[in-house]
Chains A and B, each alone.
Chain A
């Protein structure tokens, strides 16, 4: 073994040891579990990635490192020109992929410690050095607003049980919601997203769904309409949404936040195609055209029906998006921020239309972040809040006036601020209102309102 071979060996082993020390020090600063795994060659990136809450990146890094080892073994076992080419190519592909994933992990470290992105160059060239610098340097601390470790643990504890909302008799009219829990498996851990949410909504109601960012509004809506099913019972006019979702989905309309419409088709054909897809196969062409015409009139887009969708304004696009779902005459109509990006006048017009739709006997549920300009149109308010265990729970369900009295706030936006977390600019009173509302319901015999 020559001088350069010994030098290279010492250099390789040395940099690996230093990298392990660097990762260990960073892990300690992040209060990560199993920091000692930093000294295990294939596991070190995995444990760091887990602490930074990007577990899949860690798993992929570990698998790729293992594959590199296998390639090196294969290189010494299989000989020949073709084998050499194949192994070299495979090693190159795995090596480049591993490098990309490591860069992703380093970027996360940079973000957690609030460093400049230029640090990535240092990480890419000599990763052990910035790791040790960050691990030892007293001025490097995880940013206060970064809560990766807490997030990773968040929602895994169902928390204290609240009063049961379950009802003895299910109504045969309107929407009956009983979400016992909505969980996801997140890297082997059961994480609670929603828990104990129950209510009965009568037909003909325009319902406002309120809640801060991350309170579970979209998760709740997806659970109610059956798209992402929870441990729940959802009855729409007596029919179980989950048990017969294949048919029930045609009785529910969902308008997403974005205008997910093809721009290069005419308005009339877009809505007519939506009608063909959603209406029963037995619907005649004349009946379908009549229904499309009614919806165009109801939403005030009949005059521009022949133009291309891409040429329409923001307000018109929202109406087209609503029309695509409304054309089936759904019994439950859910809209995710129908007023997003619209000025007050146009937004008011759209909510007036939604009020008219509800007046026809349907249930219209709306998520909006600017509710106060149209609150007079709503019959009911649902307030969802994220409790201290970071689980979405029901903080209130009732009329807008009852909501003002319950929360002691004058506006709906103030109510959202009251239940929002402090680090999200709110008052952090979610737990208090969740418990108060549960207690208030329990006092009424556990009946959902």
Chain B
């Protein structure tokens, strides 16, 4: 009769594979993702940094750009990690590897990587002189709220790419899918196009939308001044109407009375967006959406990889 022998279970396998991935971090030069992420964040903050969390436009552009940086980092962390070793995983699965344990080890490893990348991005933002909101919405510190949002965004993108890596059979297919994923995130972020109806509802599946809305909410977008109207007025100040220049006159009047800041604040009040409301409940919903998206990605990844034995030889 066969003697029943117990072998390494879920947690032991997670430990073994986590150790393996951490060793490979050093041997495989995976650490290079940190300076690359830092370089990308530096480029973005140089462009958008000065007005972020100062004006509505600066906050909006900065939130979009930094959310894109997080998504980019997340995608590139894991888009190839499973598909490049798919045949190895198949061999190991044949010899007793639990797919759930393997993916859990990846999740933990990628979380550590995302924490490191978020720390680097925050450091770059700090060095670039971005003035983070002093007061947080969930935590006492705005900087911590922003860091948590960046982490969730990066990690959700990371898990989404991990899902793709589990579905496709090779790295070529993964890298082919990559631009489409990025374009989807750009289009359905809600930042570039005014989406309505069916297309608007698709944005619920976009990491960029929830990441961006969270940053804008924490940055108190709705309380900030808007400068676009003033700048547009400045550009059309010389328009002549029946021998007068009403725009220029109005601008001079506002400046004479020292009401320019009031005007900018008034512009901002009329440009508020309820999606960016600085409400703790709303922010938790946005973070929850990111968590749901990453959880869904992990579930799909696990199911997809469970069928690895069906791969052709």
Name A residues whose Cβ lies closer than 8 Å to a Cβ of B.
81-83, 85-86, 218, 227, 238-240, 244, 247-250, 254, 256, 258, 260-262, 264-266, 269, 273-274, 276-282, 308, 325
Contact = CB atoms under 8 A, between A and B. Distances in A.
A280 B12 CA distance: 12
Given A277-B8, A277-B13, A264 B27 contact: yes
A262 B96 contact: no
Given A82-B198, A239-B1, A256-B91, A278 B7 contact: yes
Contact of A262 (B1, B3, B85, B199): B85
A153 B64 CA distance: 58
B7 A273 contact: no
Interface in B17-61: 19-20, 23-24, 27-28
Nearest to A256: B91
Contacts of A281: 6-9, 12
Interface string B233-273: 00000000000000000000000000000000000000000
A240 B94 CA distance: 18
A276 B87 contact: no
Contacts of B9: 281
A254 B27 contact: no
Interface of B: 1-9, 12-13, 16, 19-20, 23-24, 27-28, 85, 87-88, 90-92, 94-97, 196-199, 309, 313
9 contacts: A83-B198, A244-B2, A249-B96, A260-B91, A261-B88, A262-B88, A269-B20, A269-B23, A278-B7
A244 B94 CA distance: 15
A273 B16 contact: yes
Contact of A227 (B4, B12, B94): B94
B23 A265 contact: yes
A408 B67 CA distance: 74
B94 A254 contact: yes
Dominant SS at the B interface?
Answer: helix
A216 to B, nearest CB: 13
Contacts, number: 85
Given A261-B88, A264-B24, A273-B16, A282 B6 contact: yes
Contacts of A249: 94-96
B20 A273 contact: yes
Nearest to B94: A227
10 smallest CB-CB distances across A and B, nearest first, come from A82-B197, A264-B28, A264-B27, A239-B2, A260-B91, A280-B5, A281-B6, A244-B2, A260-B88, A264-B24
A10 B59 CA distance: 58
B87 A247 contact: no
B2 A277 contact: no
A292 to B, nearest CB: 14
A331 to B, nearest CB: 11
Given A82-B199, A239-B2, A250-B5, A265 B94 contact: no
B20 A276 contact: no
B187 to A, nearest CB: 11
A261 B87 CA distance: 9
Contact of B4 (A247, A261, A266, A269): A247
Nearest to B15: A276
A191 to B, nearest CB: 15
Nearest to B309: A227
A110 to B, nearest CB: 23
A212 B75 CA distance: 45
Contacts of A278: 7, 95-96
Nearest to A238: B1
A40 B23 CA distance: 60
B27 to A, nearest CB: 4
Nearest to A80: B197
Contacts of B197: 81-82
A333 to B, nearest CB: 13
Contacts of B13: 277
Contacts of B95: 249, 254, 274, 277-278, 325
Contacts of A308: 27
Nearest to A280: B5
Contacts of B85: 262
A256 B24 CA distance: 23
A274 B97 CA distance: 10
Most central of A83, A218, A264 by chain B CB within 10 Å: A264
Given A86-B199, A260-B90, A262-B20, 17 more contacts: A250-B5, A254-B94, A258-B87, A262-B24, A264-B23, A264-B24, A265-B27, A266-B27, A273-B16, A274-B95, A277-B7, A278-B7, A281-B8, A281-B12, A282-B6, A308-B27, A325-B95
